[in-house]
Structure 1
């Protein structure tokens, strides 16, 4: 038996199953397993038979089929974590990252520095939790926070621009959200997170609502969502041949 694990992010377990429905019928000799490894979904492929060469070819064809069905949801075909995948992309592109976190409290930095050799691409992280820290350290305009609040795409964009500017990193990533259990409003319920990404070609701000029961789970999904935004940006930069 040969196996392969494909890690994905962005779809639920049921949605993942729907995307790859028909796999077992398409590839006789393959058995499929789906496992939730929060916040990711892992697709496990098992190839059964007596001929190792044929099994390897079958597993390769099946993996390619899964990649086509899952698209950008695929993080890795070897089961690597989001942070590990991003580290490899940054290293290959000779790029660097600096992070300004609020509600995630340094979780993104923890993940990014968990791999040996992270100093090749990781420059800085600051937990700018208070509005004063956002203004004084990152250069966020007080008018922006007064008008939009700390949890807003415009604030996140200014945070990302600020951390990129003060560190000289290729990319600046920021997170500001409401992890709960309190602090939500009708306009910005618990689970709202705003992410900023400053890059050589400009800055973008995105808002997501990904609420879970526990504060700790919201922090994890916020951090993973921010890293996923960076991952997609890096993939596009690689395809375009961008050199930082």
Structure 2
């Protein structure tokens, strides 16, 4: 039954209790429910990943999801949403597996710089044009994941923390040096512009003075002749 609606059981019918994963990280049998919400909704999970150079990180991720039933009038199509007893746990495991597989093939620095793209590409996949797709569907139960948000990324061990701090400090240093170079270049440009304007003014003044000197004797001769 697609609600909101009033449901009255027949004598031979009974409700089936749903047992879903919950918490962070996800644990089975945390949520008990009688109705299955179709969404849109979101769930949050915490997973541990390891890069190719053995840096371990704890990621807190948030997924937006909804059930997409093509034909709500078809009992066969509608019943698909119940085909996976714990759709939350199943989806989180599938997503975590994809992310771990993708991250295992990149180094820590690459993941730190491009974490959002790497994670989105690992889950949603890449289309024929080389762009990241915008959804990840589970055909078995009509579940669709529409977005992934990285809420936090924390190093698990001290070595990774040191590497992350060094990477951040290096990024700050590069940004600072870039800004200083830009400011220095702009100051030099303005100085050269001012010098150029001064030189042009000097040449103009000298030309005016020379013209005045040339005109002065001629004017005096004309006055004496008259």
TM-score interval (norm. to shorter): under 0.3
What TM-score comes out, normalization by structure 1 length? 0.23
What TM-score comes out, normalization by structure 2 length? 0.24
Higher helix share goes to which structure? 2
